[in-house]
Structure 1
Amino acid sequence: MKLLKTISFSLLGLITASTYAQEFSSDIQIRPRYEYTNGFGTLLTPTTEHTSFIGNRTRVNFNYGDAKLKMKVALQNVRTWGAVNNLTGGISNATNSFVLFEGWAQYSFSDKWSTKVGRQPLSYDNQRILGGLDWANQGRSFDAALIKFKGAKSQLDLGFALNADSEAKVAPATPFATDFKDMQYAWYHTNIKKLGVSFLALNLGREYLKTPSEIETNYSQTLGTYANYAGKKVTFDFSLYGQTGKIGKNEVSAWQTAANLGYAFTPKFKATLGYEFLSGKDQNASSSMVKSFNPIFGTNHAFNGFMDYFYVGNHGGSVGLQDVSLKLDFPIKKVNFSLTPHLFYAPNKIYAGTVEKDSYLGTEVDLTAAYKVYKDITVVAGYSQMFASESMVALKGGTGLKDTTNNWAWVMVNINPQIFSSKK
């Protein structure tokens, strides 16, 4: 608490010391989430059983802004209930301390041009390629520098990042192993009446050992577009991305496309039909070419079913995916429900030994419910079940529908009040 008071008074001092019109605000988020996992992420095996736990995020946000300068500092603690002994306290314990989730400053050169530097989330469009990953308690943020343009109907972001393990004055003997070595991207967005169109070009450099003593950086590129239309009753979005370049010594050739068509039958009932294709390669393929599309830094939990069987720390370099979904949104009294079945297919060949399996992987059904308890308190709960086929078993291992039930249930409370606000 002393630390929070010190930061608050220090930032408040900035307000009183300047002659510009200024705003300062602070808010706190406490977000515990209970999860019952019984085949979450992958199928259960005969020797694995369900588990349950409570994960918790505590985040404190400080925001400052005037006519030219905006700043944000977000401190965050993420833990699993019980992982820190109840007699343990103090920030000397690494698992019981706050870390910097955001720490950035944005300066406006003019009404349209600005630059933003520091630790920050990068979130664009539907977050398929670059997303803030808010579902995960830790979230995702980058050390990056941005040049930003914002006009009446268009926006342009140019982003740059360079990573290192330390400030060592000589080159390391091993490749940089965390995420990527350097990144550059350009994102352009424009609005044409109710239609929004974006273009993304992202260049990602990863180090690898070219020889036992030589480190080299190779680059892969993700290029594509995203469009969305929002009418009174009809909504539509479409994406198309391709990937090329090299990862390590391997050439890259992969692609993704998706489309979602929604229709509001009444003000309280909406249905959205969706389809997504992500390229992959046959299980027995001998080619070293990378043909499996990688969503890279997307908020992948929001896609392809909430049980995270695909592209959430898994399924990379695999057979790809086809996902057919139907999302139904409707309220019952003050509770907002969403029901979404997914049909999963493999666009490339799966084998059990030498026997080729059917392309149908299984069906997942996701049900979520959200209720606003108070102006700063929301409760969200969900239940999901995977009806896996034998092809899913051949792909991931474990046991399928005939042998066990694979499901997941969770309840999350989001408490997010503003605790201070000042204008001068």
Structure 2
Amino acid sequence: MKFIKTKLLLAIMTSAIISAPFAIADDTSFNSEIKKAIADSKVGISFRARYEGVDEDGINGASDIEATALTIKSRLTLQTGDYKHWSIGLEVDNVTAVIDNYNDLTNSYNGSDSIVIDPEGTDVNQAFLQFNTQKVKLTAGRQRILHNNQRFIGGVDWRQNEQTYDGYRIQYAVNDTVSLDYSFVHNANRIFEENSKKSNNLSGAFHFANAGYKINKAHTLSAFAYVLDFNKAHAMSSNTYGLLYQGNFGAIKVNLSAATQSDAGDNPLSYDASYYNAEIATELGKITLLGGLEVLGSDKGKAAFSTPFATLHKFQGFADKFLGTGSSTGMANGVEDTYITVKTTLNDVKLAATFHDLVSNEGHIDCGTEVDLIAAYSFKKDYDLLIKFASYSANELSNDTHKLWIQVATKF
């Protein structure tokens, strides 16, 4: 996981130094503002307990593999009040496994269970200094960065160890219709543990830019650019430019997105790939119907459109069978996902079902189908119950996989 390193220790020490004047008690304007900042500070505690069961068919006659995980995430969040528009944020997470019959991808694991990427550990999830006015917000340090629907830049908050970023961000509200958002990130703190077979950190020079334009109340347009130059994972370096449109036509709602991507930095592959997504939704009484097509294109099978910082669990099925899309060692043929979702609410229980039909973009290889089910219920104001089920049926790719999650979350 993301253990406390020198920079974080310095950040905490700086916070302590800044807070030293809090102890001074007189009637000066300075101390009055400090006292107000202390009074406006907020402390939050949250817990999320989750059972995850996995059942996978063996490949090429091998035995089936399973996993059983019961993990608890505990989170402590501190946000100071503003002092002359400045504030400090700190967030610490702990993940504990009550039942750990699963492969968390750590180097110490030597079993044969299915993968559940919820390793145990304690980490600093956020530690930042922030300047905030009505028009401008500046954030420096470890922070959460989420863009649009998290298809390109996200936090992977579904996993117990969230993905956050080390860097600098400026958000500027030009006026009521135009907003600008730019981040320079030098490190991504991923969902893996420090002692992991996967890199728990991805360092480099990463530029995240997003410009939003509110055409009117019913229509918005966003332009985005993601320039990623990795220090070590050179095959992931890329430049991505695209547009996102969201429109409300009364009974019909539309989401459209398109982007182009090419190699960058020291990427050993030279490629160009495209992305597009089209969704249309409507309501029939208490039922919402949504249909969509998402394509992560391939450049003749040598590389595919990739989104290394996305919240991948939200896309291409909850079974997470396509996390390697775009990798030079994974789904270099790309993926086309045709999906239909039905949503409704029954006795305050939110229900949703999604069907995915998946094929490769290059060669149109049948990649299987998946059914995802969700039931969510909130009770006693601060308690949330979630039940999810994913059933992936392989065809010419991978293996049949079934996953069940039961989750209870609360916050104070």
TM-score bracket, normalised by the shorter chain, equals: 0.7 to 0.9
Q: Distance in 2 between matches of 1:104 and 1:30?
A: 22
Mapped pair 1:302 → 2:314: yes
2:142 corresponds to which residue?
119
Q: Give the structure 2 partner of residue 50 of structure 1.
A: 66
The answer for the alignment partner of 2:86 in structure 1 is 69
1:375-420 superposed Cα distances (whole Å, 9 cap, x missing partner): 000000011211221x12xxx3x4x5xxxxx311110111112xxx
| Runs of 5+ consecutive residues of structure 1 not aligned to the other structure | 1-6, 85-94, 166-175, 210-215, 350-357, 401-405, 418-424
Q: Distance in 2 between matches of 1:313 and 1:258?
A: 15
Q: 1:16-27 to 2 correspondence within 5 Å?
A: 17-19=31-33, 22=37, 23-27=40-44
* Aligned-pair CA distance for 1:70: 3.2
2:274·2:296 contact (CA, 8 Å) conserved in 1?
yes
In the alignment, structure 1 residue 252 sits paired with structure 2 residue 271: yes
Percent identity between the two aligned chains = 22
- Is it true that 1:145 corresponds to 2:159 in the alignment? no
Please say if 1:240 is aligned against 2:263.
no
Maintained 8 Å contact 2:325/2:331? no
Cα separation, 1, equivalents of 2:32 and 2:271: 52
Give 2:3's aligned residue.
Answer: none
308 and 263 in structure 1: CA distance in 2 versus 1, 3 angstrom threshold:
same
Q: Which residue of 1 aligns with 2:382?
A: 376
> Is it true that 1:101 corresponds to 2:120 in the alignment?
no
Q: Deviations over 1:242-288 (max 9, x none)?
A: 1113353221311210011110112x210000110111256xx5xxx
Report SS of the residue matched to 1:19: helix
Query: C-alpha separation between the residues in 2 aligned to 1:43 and 1:57?
Result: 33
TM-score normalized by the length of structure 1: 0.76
**Contact 1:301/1:312 (CA < 8 Å) preserved in 2?**
no
Q: 3-state SS of the aligned residue for 1:52?
A: strand
> Where do 1:157-236 residues align within 5 Å?
157-163=181-187, 178-193=201-216, 194-207=218-231, 220-230=238-248, 232-236=250-254
Write the distance in 2 (CA, Å) between the matches of 1:47 and 1:190: 53
Q: Secondary structure of the residue that 1:301 maps to in structure 2? A: helix
Alpha-carbon shift at residue 134 of structure 1 (Å): 0.9
Kept in 1, the 8 Å contact 2:203–2:232? The answer is: no
SS at match of 1:134: coil
Q: Aligned partners of 2:72, 2:45: CA distance in 1, in Å?
A: 13
Change (3 A) 1:15 1:162: farther
Measure how far apart 1:43 and its partner are: 6.6
Post-superposition CA distance 1:176-234 (Å, at most 9, x none): 9942311123211111111121111111112359xxxxxx9995211111121245532
Deviation at 1:346, TM superposition (A): 1.4
Q: Let me know the Cα RMSD of the aligned residues.
A: 3.3
Q: SS where residue 408 of structure 1 aligns?
A: strand
Residue 414, structure 1, aligned to residue 409, structure 2: yes
- CA 1:45 to 1:142, structure 2 compared with 1: closer, same or farther past 3 Å? farther
Match of 1:154 in 2: 178
In structure 2, the residue matched to 1:311 is: 323
**1:368 Cα offset (Å):** 0.5
In the other structure, the counterpart of 2:343 is 329
Give the letter for the 2:305 counterpart.
Answer: F
Summarize the Cα distance change of 1:208–1:408 in structure 2 as closer, same or farther, 3 Å threshold. Answer: closer
| Number of residue pairs the alignment of both structures matches | 356
Q: Is the 8 A contact 1:207 1:217 kept in 2?
A: no
- Find the residue that maps to 1:179 and give its secondary structure: strand
- Evaluate the alpha carbon distance shift between residue 410 and residue 152 of structure 1 in structure 2; reply closer, same or farther with a 3 A threshold: same
Q: Which residue number in structure 2 is paired with residue 135 of structure 1? A: 158
Partner AA of 1:339 in structure 2? A
Aligned 1:258-407 pairs, distance under 5 A: 258-266=277-285, 268-280=286-298, 291-311=303-323, 316-349=330-363, 359-389=365-395, 391-392=396-397, 396=398, 398=399, 406-407=401-402
Task: Deviation per CA, 1:314-357: give whole Å up to 9, x if none.
Answer: 964421111111110011212110011111111213xxxxxxxx
Greater RCO, CA 8 A, separation 6+: 1
Mapped partners of 1:75, 1:187: distance in 2: 28
Summarize the Cα distance change of 1:70–1:206 in structure 2 as closer, same or farther, 3 Å threshold: same
Secondary structure of the structure 2 residue equivalent to 1:375: coil
Distance 1:15 1:153, change over 3 A: farther
